[in-house]
Structures are given as C-alpha cells and as structure tokens.
Structure 1
Amino acid sequence: MMFDLRGLDRLNRRTFLTRSAAGIGLAALGSLVADEARGAVAGLPHFKPKAKRVIYLFQSGAPSQMDLFDYKPNLKARHGENLPDSIRMGQRLTGMTAGQSKFPVAPSIFKFAQHGNSGHWMCELLPHTAKWADSIAVVKSMQTSAINHDPAVTFFQTGQELAGRPSIGSWLSYGLGSENKDLPAYVVLTSRGSGRPDDQPLYDRLWGSGFLPTQHQGVKLRNQGDPVLYLSDPPGVDRALRRDMLDDLGELNKMKFATAGDPEIATRVAQYEMAFRMQTSVPDLINVGKEDQKTLDQYGPEVKRPGSYAYNCLLARRLAERGVRFVQLFHMGWDHHGGLPTALRGQCRDTDQPTAALLADLKNRGLLDDTLIVWGGEFGRTVYSQGSLTATDYGRDHHPRCFTVWLAGGGVKGGVSHGETDDYCYNVTKDPVSVHDLHATILHLLGIDHEKLTFKFQGLDARLTGVEPSKVVKALLA
C-alpha cells in the first residue's frame, strides 16, 4: 500500500489543535488562562527574594538633587560665578541652554540638616521623609544617557530609550505572576503636582507590555469616573447576565483558539475574566472610607481626593496588602526650568508627608520588610541657572550626569549613602550607578537574576537590562 507522506505535512500545529478541540486544544487554553495567577516563567524566583512586591514612586519631571538630598554648602560662595569649563568639560546641553554664553552657579536657597544615626543630609522641605533617614538608602551617583524627558522616562520604565519595549512592571508580571487573582499584577496610578500643573505628559506605553503577552501590561486606575473604563455594567445588564455573556464569549474564543492556536486569544479570555472579577475587587479597593481616621490623617489633607498623590499613596498600600506585584505611581510637576523655589515647595508639600506615611503604614502592617519602595525621577537638574538668578526665580535645566534616587523596605540596607558627586553636583566622582544597575538591583531583591529573565524577541534573548554589562549594587543590600 502506498502511503502519501505529503499528508503528514498538513498535520501541522493548527490542524492538530483543530482536530483536538475537545481535548488538548482546550486544555492548553485552560492552562494558559490559569497561568495569569502564577509565575509565567518556570524556575522563578531564581533564589530566595527579600521583597515580594514593588511600589515605585516615580517623580516625573526630574527633582533637583542639590535642592533636596545632595548638599553642597560651598556653592554659596560661588553664587553667580560661571560654571568652570573644567567641570562641564564640553558635555552636551539641551536646546534650552545651549545658546547661553554664561552658566551662573545657583546654590540652593534651602536649609539642610543631618538626620538620624546615618546623618543623611536632607532639605528643610522634607521634614517627614527626614524622619525615615535610617530606613532609606540614598543613591547620589545615578547616571543616565538621556537628556530629554520622553526618552529618559522611557529608559527608566523599560530599560531602553526607544518606545516599544516592555515596562519593568510588565517584566515582573511576566516573571513572577500575580498573588491575587482578582486584581492585576501591575497597577498604575498618576497624579499632577502643584509645582507645575502643565508639566510633561505621560503616555500609556510607559506601562505597556511591549513584546511580552499583553496580559502583562499595566492597568491604569483613572482619577475620575470609573477607575477602570467599563467597570460598571451597561444599563439593563445585571451581574448574572454579564456572567452568561462572558461564558458564551469564552466558548467562542475556545473554538477560535482550537483553530488558530494564537496565545493572544488566551490572553483575551483571561482579561475578560479579570475584568469581571475587578467589578467586585476594585470598588472595595478604592473605598478609602474604610480606613480609620488615624490612618487618613497620617497621609495628610489631600488623602480623600481621588487623583492626589496622597490618595494614590494610600491606594498603593491597599494594593500592596492585596498582593499586587508592582504598583507604579507617577507624580508630575518636577520640571522646574524657572521659578524653582516656589515650585519645589509645592511639589514637596504634595509628596513629603504621604511618602513618609506610606512607609509608616507599611511598617505598621508588617509589609515594609517585603515591599521595596523606590523614589526618584528620570534625571537631575543643573547647578547653573536658566534665565533669572534670584532667590525667588532661578531655574535649572536637565542634567543626566548625576542625580539622586532612594530605596527603602524589602532587602534594602537603611541609612546607606551610596556614591558621591563633585563640589558642583555636576559629575559623579565615586561609585556611579546606571539605570540598568538600578533595574538589576530591583530584580535581585525580588529573587531574580537579571541576566536570566529573558524573552525571545526577533531572534534574541531580550531582557530588561539590555546587553551592556550591568551590576547589582550590593552596597544597598541588607
């Protein structure tokens, strides 16, 4: 008997799944849907983690490091002097100051003091954060390659300056999965600061999943109306009917998956189910009225206003205790090219008390030990002033060469001051830390070897920390 081998060619994956619609194909779909509540990568974490989750307090617009954390008292004697060429060394400038012929030094007008046993220097505008000096690790030697906001923010969120890569929260969702089947693994909250209400915009791609499966993208909670679009059922549709609709839609998607084998179909089914569960979990999450008055007072007067930084800090704690893996707060308003003294006061008034309250709240609930807190922006500010040089109206340009971030909580060695800058707060003189180094350290605290968390993309094993050598900053580890 002749056997037509050409028939075997047609028994490809799609055909196999089609013929197995009632068996293996649907089992595969069920497995993929179930994976949303588990780690998507086998063998993770690589080692015992110090932190289970991250709350990233991203200060969008770039806070001025020498006005907040990197104290340079000797600059007062150099007020108005031109920044020496030996310090700038021909480094690139933005288009906003490239035409300046002079670069007048603008010392901070704010008072600084040392705090805690660690002796961290902090500005007078941060009295609440200062009380946590011995619990935070301050990195004064951060560096980045980007000099403009969009690529710089994108770099911090995705490890690349060009848009389209997965965000750090998406990498963690992909690698570690979720601890709560009723909430996304990655949630984003945004607030607009009083320091500069018309500050740089944010884009949804900053919390996108890039080339990772779309179930790992961040879910943004809105500040007005339903926190998530279409969270409420349409008029005339009750919950039972909604359940029936999803069940029928799920059956159709299973049939399509059995035919096509496209994993995005499984993602779609999983997201429909997540949305249904969020109809119950999200209203409970945002009901801050359940908090006792002592807790509310701790976060400050803005805590009950949806969309405020204080409100979002409280939501971050509520998300953390519900097992959300990565909570990203974006607080806009730090881009101070002019009028910095007034604007900085406004930003610190927005953020200082709620940030300290978040640390205290987590500690009181036993969550700080396994929750990693990261605070910082996309780059720093120049020591020289743009435009006016008075006590009320100096401003600072973008500065990627050195700036400050701090970390606290899960696995972080409190009281550490890492890295140093020169007398002009312009160049790093000791222990530089790159964006990828920071990412590698965050992943390490979560039990992940940054070189092993990869995803095949365009023939390469892509990773958050890229291909250039990156290191875990061990001095920050407890």
Structure 2
Amino acid sequence: MPALSPSCPELTLQQLSARRHWLTTAGYGVGLAALATLLRTSTQAAEKHVAVGGQPTHHPPRAKRVIFLCQSGGPSQLDLFDPKPGLRARHGEELPASIRQGQRLTTMTSQQGSWPIAASPFAFARHGKCGMEFSELLPHTAKLADDICLIRTAQTEAINHDPGLTLLQTGSQQPGRPSFGSWLSYGLGTDNENLPAFVVMISGGEPGDQPLYGRLWGSAFLPSQHQGVRLRGEGDLIPYLSSPPGVDVATRRRTLDTLAAMNRLAQTQHGDLETLARVQQYELSAGMQAAVPELADFSQEKPETLAAYGPDVQRPGSYARNCLLARRLVERGVRFVQLYHRDWDHHTKVEAGLKKQTAATDQPSAALVQDLKQRGLLDDTLVIWGGEFGRAAYSQGALDSPTYGRDHHPRCFSLWLAGGGTRPGYVHGRTDDFSYNVIDQPVRIHDLHATLLHLLGIDHLQLTHRSQGHDFRLTDVAGNVVRELLA
C-alpha cells in the first residue's frame, strides 16, 4: 500500500482509490468487531426478556401495537374534557394575574391588553360507572367512559404548533429526531412482512391550516426502513405500487432478486447499512402489491361495523375511513398506525369549529375502540387520542363577538388512552379553577413517552441509538413512567 512521503508527494487516481477503499474497509472491520461484541452482550441480556414480533423486550409487554389519533391543532380541554362550571359566573371578567403568573403567551394574544375569561358554552355530564365527565360534544366517546384513561394534566414546553407537534411525535422540539413510530419499528420490528411496521394517514384541514411535515413520521438517523409509510386519501393508497404494463410477477421477482444481489455486493464492499435498508424496501413493496389492495377492500366488513364508524366511512380520505383502516392495519400485524386529523386550531369561531371537528371525529374514534374491544384486540392495542397542547381560558378577540376564539395553551391540556394495559375508568390529575395550571400529578411529554414505551415492554432508558457519538433516545434526558396510568 503506497504511502504519502516527501519522496512521493503525489499519488495516482488508482492509488488514491485503493487507499480510500482500504481505509473504508478497515474502518468497517473495526466497527463490525465492536458491533459483534455489542450484539453478543445484547443477546445474552435478551435471554430473560419476552419476545414480541421476533424482537426482545425489556419486560413483559401489555401492548403489542399502537394507534395514535393525533388531533393536530390543539383541541380545547375546557370545552371537551375538563369542566370548569365556576367560570360561568366569571364570564367576561379579567383572568387574574395570579393565575397567569407571567407565563409566556403567543404573539397573537400577548398584545391584547385584556384577557377576559371565556366560559365554555357546552354542557358536561357524568358517564359510566366511573362517573367520568365529558362535554355534550362527545356523546359517543362518553359511552366508553369505563374503558378510557383520561389525563387532564398533560403539559408541554412548546407554545406554537410546529415545535409542539414535533415534541409530541419525536421527543424534541427541534427537527432531526426519529418519530415515536420509527422508534417502535426499530425496537420491536413488524409482525407482517408484506406491510410496513409504521403507517401514517392524514385527514381534515382547510387551506391555510398549519402544515404537517414528513419529518413528523421520519426515521432521522435510524435506518430508513423504520420511517412511516403514508397512505393517500385519494386514488391508490400508495402510488406507483402496481407493476407497469407488460411486467408480470415472474419478471418483477427476477428484477428484485437481481437488484438485491447487486445491493448486497455493494454493501459488502462499502458497508453502508442504508444499502441493506434499500433491499428491505424493495421486498416490502413487492409484498404490498398484494396486501394493500386487500387492506382497502371493505366489502367483507359487516354492515353494522361500517355503520358504527359513521356515514363518512366510505368517503376516501375521511377520518372515519382512516379509523377503520387503522383497525384493519393492526389486525394484520402493523406495529404503529398514526392518524393525523387537522383543523383543531380555533383562534376564531371556537364554538363552530369544535362542533365541526367533534362531528367528524367523535363517532369514528369511539367506534374504533369498541371495534377493537369486540375483536379481542383492545387488551394489547394502545389507543392514544390528543393534540400538541390545549386552549386558553381567556378569549382571543372580542368576547361579545361570535367569532371569538381561544389561543394556544401548553400549561395543561387533556388527552385520553384506551387499552394496552392502561387504567380504565380513571381520571388523572387536577387543574386549577381556570384549567390554566396543574394543581397535582402533571404528565410531561417525556413522562407520557416513557409510560407508553413501558406498556410496550420497553425501558425508555435502554431504547437508544448511537449517532454522531451520542446515544439518543425518545425521552432525551428526561421522563418517568407514570404508574398511576397503568392497569
């Protein structure tokens, strides 16, 4: 191997290529030796763990799969889950400074000069044996009171949508971290080789709404096969999945085998793990050619099942249809299904906006939980419903106007869990009389993630990935399992 020296100041292109190849392969050799040591250690430790989907877990899991019903925009906890009847007598009064405590406000209301209290116009009632309180806007969800674990004291650090949603989905306000679904795909694998481990669907939204970025379901520095696969609302669920005219199954199989052989050769020479990821993605696309059309075929669903999800279930791209697809996906072994429903950002016309959104989502959300329960899937399927933050107790805009709204509120908001080992019929935490501050039992985003991972058999401190010399995890450097939420 030639070396640079004063007597040989220049190298030929062939020599440089050989030198680069030697350094690359030598580096991979050292890396693979270290990896082998780590794998031996992991294998020895995994012998005492429970296997799920072929992957070891840190302790016996209660949940095997997740459906996350993300209500993008920030649903108002005051109008849906956290009743504050005392505010009606104070409607229009100034929110006390002792309650605001100088907390950060968005630029949309920080300059108002006045923050009049806006009591909820909607009635609340108790439901189920547990007596859980729900707004009149949620009659279908209310019927599941004894199956739901309601968290009233969720907290987030973010006050705006993009960092708030990024934190909720990736554990960091800054872009560049793997999404929750990617971590699960990486940690637990899949139970169906013909479908992705992580699937994403989007519904709702109006022109000008807060956008949703692909990085919210991206894998970042994890291998790319762990990123979410988005299903479309219109036309084919996945574009370009079908073979082009003139290409039969046998021809496609030969093509994939040839590509796989070439990619494996390249991986052997260069050691790039993304090359192996490409092989897996080609194979997955081949399997999906048969699996996806069957997934989208509702013809075998019972009429009463379709009716339970509501009139929109047959409309492509609707929240109701996506909820039914979510059940069909987890039924077929998909590990993580992420539904986003947009247009919860009610800075104006909060009453009309909430009526519209709950009319679209209440029945399908409840039907999904009930459907899973009837099929024996709810016990080991974790359902999550919630947005990136809540809404404030004061009015945005003139309170006497029908167009008044509510601004973002990160200090306390509500979300609910069902199934997967969560505690049914339980209300966690208490907020103050204005649903503005947490009185006791706060649940921060990293606490939520730690708890959800625990239910899936994962110690959040041990699910890590080294990137650029740093061991990353979903919960960053924080997070505690909230034991009260566990059944």
Say if 2:186 is the partner of 1:174.
yes
Q: Distance in 1 between matches of 2:21 and 2:355?
A: 69
Partner of 2:311: 301
Instruction: Please give the per-residue CA displacement for 1:380-419, whole angstroms capped at 9, x wherever unaligned.
Output: 1000011131474320000000000110101011011111
Cα deviation, residue 292, structure 1: 1.3
Stretch moving more, 246-255 or 210-219: 246-255
**Counterparts of 1:65 and 1:415, CA distance in 2:** 18
1:210 aligned partner: 220
1:321 corresponds to:
331
2:130 touches 2:425 (CA, 8 Å); kept in 1? yes
Instruction: Report the CA distance between 1:306 and its aligned residue.
Output: 1.4
Alpha carbons of structure 1 residues 391 and 365: separation in structure 2 relative to 1, 3 Å? farther
Q: Is the CA contact 2:63–2:381 (under 8 Å) kept in the aligned structure 1?
A: yes
1:466 partner letter: D
Aligned to 1:104: 116
2:483 paired with 1:474: yes
Distance in 2 separating the partners of 1:235 and 1:181: 25
Residue 302 of structure 1 aligns to a residue in which SS?
helix
Partner of 2:283: 273
Letter in 2 for 1:175: G
Equivalence for 2:92:
80
Q: Is 2:53–2:190's contact at 8 Å kept on the other side of the alignment?
A: no
- Supply the distance in 1 between the matched residues of 2:204 and 2:326 (Cα, whole angstroms): 16
The CA distance in 2 between the partners of 1:257 and 1:288, in whole Å, is: 41
1:363 maps to 2:363? no
Q: Work out whether residues 40 and 175 of structure 1, in 8 Å CA contact, stay in contact via their aligned partners in 2.
A: no
Once residues 150 and 207 of structure 2 are traced to their aligned partners in structure 1, the CA distance between those partners, rounded to angstroms, is: 28
Q: Residue 134 of structure 1 is aligned with which of 146, 153, 156? A: 146
Partner of 1:119: 131
Contact residue 55 and residue 188 of structure 2 kept, 8 A: no
> Retained in 2: the 8 A contact 1:341–1:391?
no
Aligned-pair distance for 1:379? 0.4
Unaligned runs of 5+ in 1: 1-6, 19-38
2:69 is equivalent to residue 57 of structure 1: yes
CA distance in 2, matches of 1:17, 1:41: 29
Separation in 2 of the partners of 1:16 and 1:459?
15
Tell me the distance in 2 between the aligned counterparts of 1:135 and 1:456: 39
Aligned residue for 1:91, secondary structure, equals coil
Tell whether the 8 Å contact from 1:17 to 1:259 is kept in structure 2 after alignment: no
TM-score (norm 2): 0.89
Gapped runs of 5+ residues in structure 2? 1-17, 30-50
Q: Which residue is equivalent to 1:438?
A: 448
User: What RMSD over aligned residues (CA atoms) do the two structures have, in Å?
Assistant: 2.1
Task: Tell me what 2:424 maps to.
Answer: 414
Q: Indicate if the aligned counterparts of 1:305 and 1:311 stay in contact, CA closer than 8 A.
A: yes
Superposed displacement of residue 197, structure 1: 5.9
For the residue of structure 1 that corresponds to 2:391, the secondary structure is strand
Return closer, same or farther for 1:397/1:474 CA change in 2, 3 Å cut-off: same
Q: 2:382 aligns with which of 348, 372, 388?
A: 372
Q: Which has the larger displacement, 60-69 or 218-227?
A: 218-227
Change (3 A) 1:16 1:342: closer
Given that 1:188 and 1:328 are in contact with CA atoms closer than 8 Å, whether structure 2 keeps it comes out as yes
Q: 1:276 to 1:8 in 2, by over 3 A?
A: closer
CA-to-aligned-CA distance 1:319-342 (integer Å, 9 cap, x gap): 011111100000001000010111
Q: What CA distance in whole angstroms lies between the structure 2 residues aligned with 1:9 and 1:104? A: 68
Match of residue 32 from structure 2: none
Residue 67 (str. 1) matches residue 79 (str. 2)? yes
Deviation at 1:127, TM superposition (A): 0.4
Match of 1:405 in 2: 415
- Give the percent of matched residue pairs that are identical in Structure 1 and Structure 2: 59
Q: 1:80 to 1:242 in 2, by over 3 A?
A: same
Give, in whole Å, the separation in 2 of the partners of 1:183 and 1:222.
Answer: 15
Deviates more, 1:375-384 or 1:219-228: 219-228
Query: Residues 10 and 59 from structure 1, CA distance in 2 versus in 1: closer, same or farther, beyond 3 angstroms?
Result: closer
1:95-145 superposed Cα distances (whole Å, 9 cap, x missing partner): 101111100100000011011111111000100000000110111001000
Deviation per CA, 1:73-95, whole angstroms, max 9, x where unpaired? 00000111111111001111101
What's the CA shift for 1:17?
A: 9.1
**Distance in 2 of aligned mates of 1:91 and 1:50:** 38
Q: Secondary structure of the equivalent of 1:461? A: strand
SS at 1:383's partner residue? Answer: coil
Report the AA paired with residue 156 of structure 1: L
Change (3 A) 1:397 1:304: same
Question: 2:391 aligned to 358, 368, 381, which one?
Answer: 381
Asked if the contact 1:59/1:376 (under 8 Å) is kept, the reply is: yes
Could you tell me how far apart the structure 1 residues matched to 2:20 and 2:287 are?
A: 43
2:465 to 441, 455, 459: 455
Superposed displacement of residue 471, structure 1: 0.7
Which residue number in structure 1 is paired with residue 7 of structure 2?
A: none
Q: CA distance change for structure 1 residues 84 and 157 in 2, over 3 Å: closer, same or farther?
A: same
CA contact (8 A) 1:136 1:414 kept: yes
Number of aligned residue pairs: 449
CA distance in 2, matches of 1:70, 1:423: 10
Q: Counterparts of 2:160 and 2:381 in 1: how far apart (Å)?
A: 31
1:353-399 CA distances to partner (integer Å, 9 max, x unpaired)? 00110011101110000000000000010000111314743200000
CA distance in 2, matches of 1:44, 1:68: 39
The letter of the residue matching 2:315 is R
User: What is the Cα deviation at residue 259 of structure 1?
Assistant: 1.2
**Kept in 2: contact 1:117–1:134 (CA 8 A):** yes
CA deviations on 1:31-72 (whole Å, 9 max, x unpaired) are xxxxxxxx9999731010000000000000000000000000
Cα distance in 1, alignment partners of residues 19 and 389 from structure 2: 58
Cα distance in structure 1, aligned partners of 2:28 and 2:396: 64
- In the TM superposition, what is the alpha-carbon distance from 1:234 to its structure 2 partner? 1.7
Bigger mean CA deviation after superposition, 143-152 or 248-257: 248-257
Q: In the alignment, residue 57 of structure 1 is paired with which amino acid?
A: L
**Is 1:230 the counterpart of 2:240 in the alignment?**
yes
The answer to whether the Cα contact below 8 Å between 1:197 and 1:333 also exists between their aligned partners in 2 is no
Alpha-carbon distance in 1 for matches of 2:157, 2:26: 49
Distance in 1, matches of 2:55 and 2:225, equals 20
- Measured against aligned partners, the alpha-carbon deviations of 1:150-195 in whole angstroms (never above 9, x if no partner) come to 01000000000011100000000000000111111000011015xx
Q: What SS class does the counterpart of residue 290 from structure 1 fall into? A: coil
Instruction: Report SS of the residue matched to 1:289.
Output: coil
Correspondence for 1:14:
25
Distance in structure 2 (CA, Å) of the matches to 1:59 and 1:339:
18
Deviations 1:237-273 (A, max 9, x none): 2222222211221121122112112111100000000
